[in-house]
Amino acid sequence: MTAFDLQRVRRDLHRIPELGFQEEKTQQYLLTKIQEMATDRVQVKTWRTGILVHIDGTSPTKRIGFRTDIDGLPILEDTGFDFSSTHVGKMHACGHDFHMTIALAALQRIIDRPVKDNVLFVFQPAEEGPGGAKPMIESKEFLDWKPDTIFALHIAPELPVGQVSSKPGLLFANTSELFIDFKGLGGHAAYPHLAKDMTVAASNFVVQLQQIVSRGLNPLDGSVITIGKMESGFVQNAIAETARLEGTIRTTEASSISIVKEKLEKLIKGFEIAYECKINVDYGSNYYQVVNAEKYVEQFKECLSSTDVEYIQASPAMTGEDFGDMLKIIPGFMFWLGVDSPYGLHHAKLAPKEEALAIGVEAVETFIRSFG
């Protein structure tokens, strides 16, 4: 693909963001592009709204996988682009339009100039939720073509164009969503003794929750519990009968997630007694840590030394990615791609520079060809 084609495809995809397992327009667009470049060496399978593309190698001894995510986020776009989302309330605010475009371009290059080994391109749905990686890798379609190694990329707004970043070992944290619902007894503001106030219960719960990390976990293990949203009540002169907390748990140790949940549930039992209420917890989507295999990170770093792409060492991040579920069973790695945006991931004004598309394609193709 030319630079112009990269831009056009990215903008086409940017216009049609869809939520997890609803990526029907996206799947159709991708399938159309894949069919345009397919040859008799290319086989295509679909899985739900995802796609698997297998390219036969010239003399294969292994299979190399590259995964891209394809879903968008429930965010109202505020970029002002003339190619802004046409799906109101949905946006590619995490760069998956970039990821897909790079995958398509790299796919075409591998088809046009065959490599020795088999290559599998994985277009995975529902990375943002509820998590498409785990059910996809358990599917017959994936297992038929299970790769020997797999890698992926993610845009990095804070890095300049031309730079990529990764590291051996832990790159992304273990994550769990957190939804907590409180049910008490509503009443008139003038008679608090006749009600069970869930605004007070939930407010105190948020404060106590923070002590799980500060006093319940090894301080050398990175952990964070964040409540990002709190709702209670409907009117200023009534006591709230219900309240809801929404947040996230993130840890650098896989075992810490279960410890946090165990202590949180004990805290819930105490609050139910103290505030005479019922509390339900839902952990939503849970993502396993992204742990990079040193062997492949070093191979990636080495193969880029002959290109204009600059490699730098990354630091671990508390971000989450369901690609961790793939790396749990298949050795590989993920890397950051610099896109130099003044706004960060999941921001309504995220504006990655399109010059980074060609850098991403070069990095992906170079690693695939590094196997010989």
pLDDT in tens, 114-141: 999 999 999 999 999 999 999 999 999 9
pLDDT of residue 4 exceeding 70, the answer is no
pLDDT in tens, 269-298: 999 999 999 999 999 999 999 999 999 999
- Tell the CATH topology of 3-171+289-369: Aminopeptidase (3.40.630)
pLDDT band per the 50, 70, 90 thresholds, residue 194: very high
pLDDT of residue 105: 97
pLDDT of residue 159: 98
- Class of the domain covering 174-286: alpha beta
DSSP 153-177: EEEETTSPTTEEEE-SEEEE-EEEE
pLDDT of residue 366: 98
Among the listed residues 177, 259, 262, 253, the one whose alpha carbon sits nearest the alpha carbon of residue 222: 253
pLDDT of residue 151 exceeding 80, the answer is yes
Which residues are catalytically annotated? 69, 128
Cα–Cα dist 341/363, whole Å:
20
Contact 67, 122 (CB under 8 A): yes
Return residue ranges of the chain for CATH 3.40.630.10.
3-171+289-369
Name the one residue in this structure whose structure tokens are 């995964």. Answer: 67
pLDDT in tens, 59-70: 999 999 999 999
pLDDT of residue 372: 75
Return residue ranges of the chain for CATH 3.30.70.360.
174-286
Task: Give the three-state DSSP class for 330.
Answer: coil
pTM: 0.94
Average pLDDT, stretch 86-106? 98
How far are the Cα atoms of 47, 258, 265, 356 from residue 122, in angstroms, in the given order?
Answer: 10, 30, 38, 21
Among the listed residues 286, 275, 291, 194, the one whose alpha carbon sits nearest the alpha carbon of residue 249: 286
Number of Cβ atoms within 10 Å of the Cβ of 58: 10
Residue type, 15: R
Average pLDDT, stretch 245-274? 97
Who's near 2: CB < 8 A, 6+ residues apart? none
Q: Measured in whole angstroms, how far is the alpha carbon of residue 84 from the centre of its chain?
A: 21
Contact 306, 126 (CB under 8 A): no
Q: Which residues pair with 163 in a beta bridge?
A: 310
E strand intervals along 48-91: 50-55, 63-69
pLDDT of residue 199 exceeding 80, the answer is yes
pLDDT of residue 192 exceeding 90, the answer is yes
Structure tokens at 157: 């707004």
pLDDT of residue 2: 46
pLDDT of residue 32: 96
pLDDT of residue 3: 46
Residue type, 107: L
pLDDT of residue 178: 98
